Amino acid sequence: MAPHPSRDDQLFSLFDDPEGQASALYEQERDAELLDRSRAEYRRVTLDSRLMASVGDRLALTVVGVGRIEGELQRMGLGWCPVSGHAQDWIVRTPCIEVVQGASDRSIPEVARSPLHKLGVTSALRRLAESRVRCVVHLVDGGQHEAVVRRVGADFVEITTPGDEAVLIAYDAISAVQSRD
| 53, 32: one domain | no
| 28, 14: one domain | yes
Please give the Cα distance from 99 to 162 (Å, whole number). Answer: 32
| 100, 172: one domain | yes
pLDDT value for 109: 76
Residues of the chain with pLDDT under 70: 1-41, 111-113, 115, 181
Give the Cβ contact number of residue 163 at 10 Å. Answer: 6
| 97, 158: one domain | yes
Please give the Cα distance from 180 to 132 (Å, whole number). Answer: 11
Q: State the residue range of the domain holding 33.
A: 1-44
pLDDT value for 113: 66
Query: Could you tell me the pTM of the whole model?
Result: 0.74
